[in-house]
Amino acid sequence: MTLEINNCSYEVIIEKKNNKNLYIRVTDDLKIKVTCSFFYTKNAILNVLKQNERSIIRMIQKQKQRAIVKKEEDHMYLGRKLNVSYENVRTPKITDDRIVVRDDTMLNNWYKKQAKEVFRKYLDEAYYVFDEDIPYPKIKVRSMKTRWGVCNKRDNSVTLNLDLIKKDHKYLNYVIVHELSHFVYFNHSKSFWNTVEKYCPEYKKVRKELKE
């Protein structure tokens, strides 16, 4: 099922649940997702979509704007804009704030390599400041959609989101302090946050910015 808006065709995904109301949202890839009850027919859904065309247009525009911002953020390094050029090179070439790569795969591999080195450096700096008796953790780096970091007490590891390499170092420092504090208190109690504040006094401000 598709919906025509301003001479553009958008795929409509219908998900039926035991809902009383019908909900419309536009996904990152500009698909229109409808969640409704089992009693809605396709024609009824299409009528609702047409009645809400202006709202859908606004949602589409908002997602397009988010895509532009995300693209800009994708080419960052520790909070600085990274100018990326694509040429037929065998290895990345870096000068100041410019990097030359063959393709996005080479760029992502460079980010991963940088992340392992930079994250280890920041982890060491934070770990040796801790007064509490905590284990020296293994560090893991991976892409995560919903979390910036994970503490695993079973194998004494800290997993950090690869995208932190694109953020200003203050966010990286906060996430590392946050995860190390979990080795002291494996919860989000007041004592835990007091420990975070002890080593990252401005954590409330940084945490709020990281959520935005």
169-181 and 203-211 helices, crossing angle to 10°: 110
Q: Which amino acid is at 92?
A: P
Sign of CA dihedral 163, 26, 57, 11: positive
Predicted pLDDT of residue 211: 86
Residue at 129 is within a domain:
yes
CB 206 within 8 A of CB 176: no
Residue at 51 is within a domain:
yes
Residue at 34 is within a domain:
yes
Shared-domain flag, residues 48 and 104: no
Shared-domain flag, residues 107 and 168: yes
Shared-domain flag, residues 202 and 108: yes
Shared-domain flag, residues 111 and 142: yes
**Which residues face 14 on adjacent strands?**
34
Shared-domain flag, residues 70 and 7: yes
Residue at 83 is within a domain:
no
Q: Is the whole-model pTM more than 0.75?
A: no
Q: How many domains does the chain have?
A: 2
Q: Torsion angle, CA of 22/41/16/20, rounded to 10 degrees?
A: 40
Shared-domain flag, residues 193 and 121: yes
Which one of 31, 47, 74 terminates a domain? 74
Q: Residues 34-46: pLDDT tens digits?
A: 999 999 999 999 9
- List the domain range (segments joined by +) for residue 97: 93-211
CA 134 to CA 2: how far, in whole Å? 56
Which one of 74, 108, 130 terminates a domain? 74
Which residues, given as ranges, of the chain have pLDDT below 50? none
User: For tokens 């065998």, what's the residue?
Assistant: 90
